[in-house]
Amino acid sequence: MTAASPVKSSPLHVVSPLVPSNMLSVVCGQQALLKLENIQPSGSFKIRGIGHYIQKSTEKGCAQVISSSGGNAGMAAAYSSKVLKIPATIVLPMSTPSFMISKLKQEEADVLVHGEVWDVAHKKAITMAKNKKCCLVHPFDHPDIWEGHSTIVDEILEQSTEAPAAIVVSVGGGGLLCGILSGLHRHGATDIPVVAMETEGAHCLRAALDAGKPVSIGEIPSIAKTLGALCVTQGVFDLKEGIQLSSHVVSDKQAVEACINFADHHRMLVEPSCGAALAAGYSGLIQRLKENNFIRKRGPVVFIVCGGNIVSMDNLIEWKKHFRIC
C-alpha cells in the first residue's frame, strides 16, 4: 500500500468514528468495525460528496442549488446550501415520506414533489437548472462527488490499526461505491476487497454487472427507497478494474431485520438501505465469503453505516409487523 495525499476535507462534514461491533464480530467470525456515517450533520455519508461538489461549484460562481433526491442527497444539498448561505430547491419523487419533506424545509430548502420515482424528479430538476447561476446537484453521478466520498477511505486507513479484510457498502446509484473504489485506487490499496449490497427491487448494480453495462431495472418496488436508482452510474465500471468486487442482493425483510438488530445492539436507528450492508454480517454472508477466500482472514471487516434519515421508531415497528419479524 502506498501513501496518498488525502482529498482536501470539506468543512461541511465531520470525521466519523470507526468503532467495533461486538455482535457483528461474533457473527462474522472476525473483528467487525462500523464506520458511522449516520452521525454526519445531514444524517448520511452524502454530505461528503455533495458538500464537496457544492463548495467547488460556488467557487465557480454557483448562486443557487437545484437537487433531486428521495431523501439523503437532498438533505446533504439542503444542509450544504444553508451553511454556504445560498438558496436550494430540492425536487422529490412522490414516494418520499412526508417527514422527510418536513426535514428538508427545516433546512430552509424549497421543496417540489414531482414524479413517481427519482429518475422523473431528476429530469424536472434538469429543466429547472437552465440558469447559468444554478448548480445542478446529481445525487450520485459526478467525479467531484466521488472524490468527496473517497475521504471515507482516507479515514478508514488512518483509523484502523490493520488494513481491512474487506469493506462492506450499500449501493444505490453507485456514488458511495465509486468513492470507495476511487479512494482505494488513490491509496494503492486495491487488494482490499469490496462487498456491495443491494435489496431486491433496487438491484441496479447486480443487473448492470449481469449485463456487462449499466441497464435500467424499470421500477423500484423495494422498501429501500434511498437505494432507488433505476440505473447504476458508468463510473462503477470505470473504477472497479483491479479491485475485487462482490455483488449481493438481500430481501427487504433481511434489510429490515438488520436494522432492528442494529438498533438492539447499537442503539441507533438506520434505514433499510443501510440495513442492506449490515445484512451481509447478520445473514452469514461474510462468513461464506471467508470460506470462499474472497475475504481475508486477517484484518477487520469494515461496514459503512451509510445513513439513517428515512427511518423512525414507528417505521421500524410497522416494518417488523409487515415482515412478521419476531
Q: What is the pLDDT of residues 226-249, one digit of tens each?
A: 656 889 999 999 999 999 999 999
Global pTM reads 0.93
Rg (CA), the chain: 18
In this predicted structure, the answer to whether residue 6 has a pLDDT above a threshold of 70 is no
pLDDT tens, position by position, 184-212: 999 999 999 999 999 999 999 999 999 99
Q: Which H or E element spans position 148?
A: helix 143-149
The C-alpha atoms of residue 176 and residue 322 are separated, in whole angstroms, by 29
What per-residue confidence (pLDDT) applies to 219? 85
Query: For 7-21, what is the mean pLDDT?
Result: 84
Q: Which three cell numbers stand for residue 213?
A: 453495462
Give residue-wise pLDDT tens across range 248-300. 999 999 999 999 999 999 999 999 999 999 999 999 999 999 999 999 889 99
Task: Identify the CA nearest to 102 among candidates 118, 87, 90.
Answer: 90
Q: Which CATH class for the 46-140 domain?
A: alpha beta
pLDDT confidence bin for 2, thresholds 50/70/90: very low
Query: Mean per-residue pLDDT for 305-325?
Result: 90
Distances in Å between the Cα of 219 and the Cα atoms of 39, 194, 212, 305 are: 30, 26, 20, 25
The answer to whether residues 199 and 272 touch, using CB atoms and an 8 Å cutoff, is yes
Instruction: With a cut of 50, say whether residue 147 has pLDDT above it.
Output: yes
Instruction: Tell me where in the chain the CATH 3.40.50.1100 domain(s) lie.
Output: 18-44+144-322, 46-140
Share of the chain above pLDDT 90, in %: 79
pLDDT at 153 over 70: yes
Higher-confidence residue of 28 and 311: namely: 28
- The Cα–Cα gap between 162 and 32 comes to 12
C-alpha cell at position 321: 409487523
Pick the CATH number of 18-44+144-322 from 3.40.630.10, 3.40.50.1100, 3.40.50.10190, 3.40.640.10: 3.40.50.1100
